Amino acid sequence: MAEAEAEKKSIVNPKYRDKYKEQDWLGAWIAKQATTTKEVTKTVPDGDGTKTVKTTVPAGIDTDVLFSIAQANGLDVAKYESQKDSHGFAGRFRMTVRNMLQKVAKQRHGLYDSKGKFVVADAEWLKVKGAAEAPTHKKTGEKIPAPKTEAKAA
């Protein structure tokens, strides 16, 4: 019953829901930084009876952390500030920022985290996403000029 209720609340179309269950490097990296957690008490089987244990579970998305990650990577997300309190904002904003960060990560071969530390992207992820062998942009975002090829003498 709880699973059916969760499906009703989700804005993700059921045909896409399973496609995005497994996270790639970027999704896991964002989740590690921007997922809030809460402590819950669960009853679990213990030999002959049951016991109560406390565990930590994901509770949502910290949009302030997403804003700081986006700004650290030079993304213009100021226009989304006014939407912070709207229904479903956290999920939509996470998706939007993720899509914007993917492009930046492919160009720079990494991203700045919310604390300003540059994190190198996973090589396999870059390969799957079709990134160039070498970064096309500096860590700060400036484009790296392509090497000039000399014309062959005729």
Q: Pull the structure tokens for residue 2.
A: 């709880």
Residue 101 domain-assigned (yes or no) = yes
Determine what percent of the chain is predicted with pLDDT higher than 70. 90
Q: Please tell me the predicted confidence (pLDDT) of residue 22.
A: 79
Question: What pTM did the predictor assign?
Answer: 0.77
From residue 9, give the alpha-carbon distance in Å to each of 1, 42, 83.
Answer: 13, 23, 19
User: In the chain, which ranges are continuous DSSP H helix?
Assistant: 2-9, 14-17, 25-34, 63-72, 89-108, 123-128
The reply to whether 84 falls in a domain is: yes
Q: Is residue 112 part of a domain?
A: yes
Residue 149 inside a domain? The answer is no
Give one DSSP letter per residue of 24-49, joined into a string: -HHHHHHHHHHEEEEEEEEEEEETTE
Residue 25 confidence (pLDDT): 95
Is 143 domain-assigned?
no
Q: How many CB atoms within 10 Å of residue 74?
A: 14
Q: What contacts 24+ positions apart, CB below 8 Å, involve 1-6?
A: none
| 83 found inside a domain | yes
- Residue 151 resides in a domain: no
- pLDDT of 2-11, one tens digit each? 454 444 567 7
pLDDT tens digit sequence for 115-125: 999 999 999 99
The residue range of the domain holding 72 is 13-35+61-128
Domain total of the chain = 1
Residue 44 lies in a domain: no
What is the pLDDT, as a whole number, of residue 51? 87
